[in-house]
């Protein structure tokens, strides 16, 4: 108690001394004042950029890119590279923004804009899963600021985000639709063949996607899979890796677009070549606990839906062309997901999920058994389960025909030369050559 009283006396003395000493530094520069001053400076810096800002926002599907122009009246105008909304390419959208003082300055986009689309819990809007959007944010803590770069962290999902001053060339490219168009450049390169690079005698398969590059190689019996998140240069179309990757002693920082082909950003550039077959099979990265866990089949993905030669493709094609008269009107099946998970008992299962164009879906689950090599799996039809909603759409429908056909079958997991837009594609093929194709995703 005596020590406590002594401390209080010292504090009181310091207060009295401070009040009487005219040369003491003022305490007006409190934390709140400093934070407020920082936020005003950040806002002035954002508004001052002649050519706007390039925002790279981390999501569950890689980095999404936006161009933003901030105004002094708390309005921000932005463009998006969201390929799920091609109608928005080159179309500006304005909303409000504001800085908040929480534990640190926070930049908040506080009315609905292109950022909120990828955060939307409605899977049909965001393109996400589990009603979590793309597991990204629209409020960002300011971590570090330089003249040309804001480094930030999302408040909820703790994702990485940056704002970088755009150049005049980038601003002009954005307004001409480059945000979305450049994303199509790499995936459309040799789309019906398999790309690779030779790294010190090791063949490395290269799989292009819109927001990442997958590099697959094998040493002995071990398969190395590196998935590199990419930022595509709006002017040069170069692919810059978020983090460099080292393969067989060579550090690769990205892929440069050079004379209509790609070369590695390495000390000695390596040319990306193509061949008829892949070195590493799809089964190494598609399945339980692997990079790809889902194959999505859309209308138009089955190039040969003939009932006699490809019955599985025929039945799948019937489902993705189905329409139902519901209380909210006529609704179509937009896609069918084939995804691998485990049930509560740890059993590996396949879920077949037809999904309407307004987001409502049905689940049909069965257990599966993978081969020892992992290149195929067999469905166990006796384990098929569904809830009441799924059962209501099942009996006597094309969904039942497809699901029944897929039960007690063995499927090979393979890459395919069939292309669809800019999607990374794979196929499931039965022993009697029934084949379905779909875009691969996590």
Q: For residue 220, what pLDDT is reported?
A: 81
CA angle 35, 65, 196 (to 5 degrees): 135
The helix/strand/coil state of 329 is strand
Answer yes or no: are the C-beta atoms of 126 and 136 closer than 8 Å. no
- Map tokens 């601003």 to a residue: 171
pLDDT tens, residue by residue, 207-230? 999 999 999 999 888 899 999 999
C-alpha span between 95 and 321 (Å, rounded)? 37
Q: Which residues pair with 67 in a beta bridge?
A: 54, 79
Q: Beta 62-70 vs 364-370: how paired, if at all?
A: unpaired
Percent of the chain with pLDDT over 90: 80
Which tens digit of pLDDT belongs to each residue from 132-180?
999 999 999 999 999 999 999 999 999 999 999 999 999 999 999 999 9
Q: Which residues is 213 bridged to in the sheet?
A: 208, 228
Within 2-134, residue ranges assigned H as helices are 2-20, 31-48, 114-119, 123-126
253 — pLDDT class (breaks 50, 70, 90): very high
Place of tokens 């600021």: 145
Query: Which pair of structure tokens corresponds to residue 387?
Result: 């809830």
**Domains along the sequence of the chain with CATH:** 34-180 (2.40.128), 194-279 (2.40.128), 294-441 (no CATH)
First-residue to last-residue Cα distance in the chain: 61
pLDDT at site 92: 97
pLDDT higher than 70, residue 3: no
Mean of the pLDDT values across residues 328-332?
Answer: 90
pLDDT per residue as tens digits for the range 390-425: 999 999 999 999 999 999 999 999 999 999 989 999
Residue in the block written with tokens 């997958």: 214
Q: How confident is the model at residue 30 (pLDDT cuts 50, 70, 90)?
A: low
Tell me the β-bridge partners of 348: 342
Q: Give 312's contacts (C-beta < 8 A, 6+ positions apart).
A: 402, 405, 406, 430, 434, 435, 436
Cβ distance 280 to 272 under 8 Å? no
pLDDT of residue 29: 59
pLDDT band at 50 (very low <50, low <70, confident <90, very high): very high
d(CA 380, CA 365) in angstroms, rounded, equals: 10
Return the half-sphere exposure (C-beta side, CA atoms, 13 A cut-off) of residue 431: 6
Which residue in this structure is represented by tokens 């995703």?
441
pLDDT of the residue at 25? 37
What are the tens digits of pLDDT across the range 340-392? Answer: 999 999 999 999 999 998 888 999 999 999 999 999 999 999 999 999 999 99
Question: What is the rounded distance in angstroms from the CA atom of residue 262 to the CA atom of residue 253?
Answer: 13
Q: What is the 3-state secondary structure (H, E, C) of 195-260?
A: EEEEECCEEEEEEECCCEEEEEEEECCEEEEEEEEEEECCCCCCEEEEEEEEECCEEEEEEEEECC
Cα distance between residue 428 and residue 312, in whole Å: 10
pLDDT-derived band at 83, boundaries 50, 70, 90: very high
Give the single-character DSSP code of 167: P
Phi, psi of 384 (to 5 degrees): -60, 130
What pLDDT is stored for residue 57 in this prediction?
Answer: 97
Q: Which residues contact 269 (CB under 8 A, 6 or more apart)?
A: 256, 258, 263
Print burial letters for 69-88: b (CB count within 10 Å at least 16), e (below 16): bbeeeeebebbbbbbeeeeb
Residue 11 has pLDDT above 70, yes or no: no
Q: By percentage, how much of the chain surpasses pLDDT 70?
A: 93
289: exposed, middle or buried (Cβ count in 10 Å: 0-12, 13-18, 19+): exposed
7: Cβ contacts below 8 Å, ≥ 6 apart: none
């Amino acid at each position: 108690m005596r020590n406590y009283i002594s401390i209080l006396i010292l504090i009181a003395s310091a207060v009295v001394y401070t009040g009487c000493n005219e040369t003491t530094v003022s305490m007006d520069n409190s934390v709140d004042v400093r934070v407020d001053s920082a936020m005003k400076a950040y806002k002035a810096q954002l508004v001052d950029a002649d050519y706007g800002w390039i925002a790279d926002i981390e999501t569950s599907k890689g980095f999404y890119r936006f161009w933003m122009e901030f105004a002094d009246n708390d309005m921000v105008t932005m463009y998006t590279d969201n390929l799920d909304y091609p109608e928005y390419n080159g179309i500006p959208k304005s909303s409000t923004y504001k800085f908040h003082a929480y534990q640190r300055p926070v930049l908040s986009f506080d009315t609905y804009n292109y950022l909120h689309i990828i955060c939307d819990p409605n899977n049909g809007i965001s393109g996400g899963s589990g009603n979590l959007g793309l597991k990204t944010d629209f409020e960002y803590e300011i971590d570090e600021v330089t003249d040309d770069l804001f480094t930030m962290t999302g408040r909820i999902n703790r994702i990485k985000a940056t704002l970088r001053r755009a150049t005049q060339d980038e601003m002009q490219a954005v307004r001409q639709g480059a945000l979305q168009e450049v994303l199509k450049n790499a995936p459309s390169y040799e789309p019906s063949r398999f790309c690779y690079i030779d790294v010190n005698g090791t063949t490395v398969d290269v799989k292009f996607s819109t927001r990442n590059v997958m590099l697959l190689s094998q040493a002995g019996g071990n398969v190395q899979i590196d998935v590199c998140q990419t930022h595509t240069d709006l002017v040069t179309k170069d692919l810059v890796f978020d983090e460099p990757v080292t393969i067989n002693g060579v550090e690769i920082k990205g892929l440069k677009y050079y004379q209509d082909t790609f070369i590695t950003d390495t000390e000695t550039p390596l040319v990306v070549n193509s061949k008829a077959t892949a070195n590493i099979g799809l089964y190494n990265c598609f399945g339980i606990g692997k990079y790809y866990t889902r194959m999505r089949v859309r209308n138009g993905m089955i190039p040969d839906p003939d009932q006699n030669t490809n019955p599985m493709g025929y039945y799948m094609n019937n489902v993705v062309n189905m329409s139902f008269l519901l209380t909210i009107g006529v609704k179509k099946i937009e896609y069918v997901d084939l995804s691998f998970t485990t049930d509560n008992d740890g059993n590996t299962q396949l879920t077949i999920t037809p999904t309407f164009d307004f987001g409502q879906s049905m689940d049909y689950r069965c257990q599966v058994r993978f081969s020892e090599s992992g290149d195929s799996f067999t469905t166990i039809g006796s384990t098929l389960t569904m809830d009441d909603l799924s059962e209501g759409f099942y009996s006597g429908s094309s969904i039942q025909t497809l699901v029944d056909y897929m039960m007690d079958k063995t499927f090979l997991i393979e890459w395919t030369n069939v292309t669809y837009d800019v999607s990374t594609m794979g196929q499931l093929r039965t022993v009697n050559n029934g084949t379905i194709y779909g875009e691969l995703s996590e």
